[in-house]
Structure 1
C-alpha cells in the first residue's frame, strides 16, 4: 500500500505492517479523543516513525495515488481531529 505523509512524501508499506500501524493509529485516536496534547504528539510521532521505518520511499516521479494519507509531523491535535474518520486515520 502507498502511504502519504503530508509535506513529506509517499512510502510503500507492506500490508503485513497494517496491524502495527492500526495499533499506533488507535493511540493517536485515543489521545485526540482525550484532548491530551502530550500523548497526541508522542503517538503521532510513533505512527509516522513506523511508516518511515517499515516502508520504503515511493518513487518520487510516480503519479500513483496514495491509499492512506497521514498528517504531517507538525500537525496539531485539532487538525488531526478534523482528519479522523470513524475508524481512525488508518481504516481497519
Structure 2
C-alpha cells in the first residue's frame, strides 16, 4: 500500500502492518470523538511515526498513486475530523 503523509512524501507499507496502524487509528478516532486535543495530538504523532518507521520511503520524484492519505503532524483536530471516513483514516 502506498501512503502519503501530507507535506512529507510517500511510503510503501506492507499489508501486514495495517493491524497496528488500525489500532492507532481507533485511538485517534476516540480522541477526536471525545474532542480530547492532548490525546489527539499525541496519537496523531504516534500514528505518523509508525508509518514512517514501518514504511519504505519512495523517492521524491516517484509518481505512484497514493492509496491512503494521512494528515500532517500540524493538522488540527477539526481538519482531521473532516478527513475521516466511517472507519477512521485507515480502512479496515
Give the TM-score category using the shorter length: over 0.9
TM-score, normalisation: structure 1? 0.97
- Is 1:45 aligned to residue 61 of structure 2? no
Counterpart residue number, 1:17 = 17
Count of residues paired in the alignment: 92
Q: What are the superposed Cα offsets for residues 25-58 of structure 1, whole Å, 9 maximum, x if unpaired? A: 1111110000000000001001000000000111
Counterpart residue number, 1:75 = 75
TM-score, normalisation: structure 2? 0.97
Q: Report runs of 4+ in structure 1 exceeding 2 Å deviation.
A: none
What's the RMSD between the two structures over aligned residues? Answer: 0.6
Counterpart residue number, 2:87 = 87
Structure 1 residues not aligned, in runs of 5+:
none
Structure 2 residues not aligned, in runs of 5+:
none
